[in-house]
Amino acid sequence: MAEVMRPEKFDISNDTSSLASPELLHVLAVDDSIVDRKFIERLLKVSSCKVTVVDSATRALQYLGLDGDNSSVGFQDLKINLIMTDYSMPGMTGYELLKKIKESSAFREIPVVIMSSENILPRIDRCLEEGAEDFLLKPVKLADVKRLRDSLMKAEERVFKNIKHKRELEASDIYSQLKRAKI
Amino acid sequence: MNTVVVAQLQRQFQEYLVSLYQQGFLDNQFTELRKLQDEGTPDFVAEVVSLFFDDCSKLINSMSRSLGRPESVDFKQVDSGVHQLKGSSSSVGARRVKNVCISFKECCDVQNREGCLRCLQQVDYEYKMLKTKLEDLFNLEQQILQAGGTIPQININ
């Protein structure tokens, strides 16, 4: 008679989380100002994030694979956990970038944060209505990034725990089925 | 390490830095920048301000061109330049430069070419002044490090 494995011995895989690595959030930062790019990059690194910085919304779309050539498919195994974009940029604005991301089936779940040096309420409302996760006034503070990071990590943890729990239920279901079949 | 020399340099550094805040050259954002620097990235602040000064020079040149001929001023371009300058000065804590940008924008909004030219001159003066001041500050930092000391983190109220 074969030994029936107890559920606890089943290996519950760790990579169901979409985190770039167990602890690191991968952030895509978009800003046309070289000073602000340098600043936000450092801010994010100090907050233990992996950072990719681009200088325009067009380049951001290229990086995500949403620039027309690949239509809305995108690069499926590109793990981005957060997009932070400046609002006022020449060419495509941060708002337009936000819309494109929310239209994409591959990336619409990724939280998008808008940054702006101008505190214009209708602008803030418009961004939040379009699905922005948050709207930050520049210059962005370390506290803002920490707050974002903490809330994203909590969300990831919840997702991971749900998946883990689901796996446990499935495993214990198999176990009881096997027991009943007396294998 | 000569602790007396280090202590002296550190005090000099502290006094100089505080004076820059008191005279309005710098604001709290510069403090935030310094907090982001550590032993692993000892040149971070110097690099950011260097990028800022390059930016200033570039933007001032292009705005100068736009304001060049009285009969064909491109105020939209000037406004865009002021916006960028205001943004980056705000990001590094360059308080005086930022404040000139506020007046500059007002002149732009009412298409006051003379006013814009005055502001342009002032912004040029202010960024160059700040550049000199910060060069002196970074110089003091280097002296402290070479004497074997550490750069004090200073809380500005």
pLDDT, tens digit, for every residue of A61-105?
Answer: 999 998 876 554 556 567 899 999 999 999 999 999 999 999 999
pLDDT at A11: 44
pLDDT at B16 over 60: yes
Say which of A46, A90, A138 has its CB closest to residue B90. Answer: A138
pLDDT at A45: 95
- Cβ contacts of B84 on chain A, cutoff 8 Å: 33
Taking a C-beta distance cutoff of 8 angstroms, is the pair B90, A117 a contact?
Answer: yes
The string of pLDDT tens digits covering residues B93-103 is 999 999 999 99
Interface of B with A in 62-91 (CB under 8 A): 80, 83-84, 86-88, 90-91
Mean pLDDT computed over B17-37: 96
The string of pLDDT tens digits covering residues B30-49 is 999 999 999 899 999 999 99
Say which of A38, A117, A138 has its CB closest to residue B48. Answer: A38
pLDDT at A13: 44
pLDDT at A12: 42
> Is B51 in Cβ contact with A35 (below 8 Å)?
yes
Using DSSP's 3-state secondary structure scheme, residue B70 falls into helix
Q: Note the residue count of chain B.
A: 157
pLDDT band at A16 (very low <50, low <70, confident <90, very high): very low
Taking a C-beta distance cutoff of 8 angstroms, is the pair B6, B126 a contact?
Answer: no
pLDDT at A14 over 50: no
pLDDT at B25: 98
Q: Radius of gyration of chain A from Cα atoms? A: 21
ipTM over 0.85: yes
The H or E element spanning position B121 is helix B113-146
Taking a C-beta distance cutoff of 8 angstroms, is the pair B36, A142 a contact?
Answer: yes
Put the strands of the sheet holding A82-86 in their side by side order: A49-54, A25-30, A82-86, A112-116, A134-137
Q: Locate tokens 């602790």: which residue?
A: B3
- Cβ contacts of B80 on chain A, cutoff 8 Å: 90
Residue predicted with more confidence, A160 or A127 = A127
Q: Read off the pTM.
A: 0.85
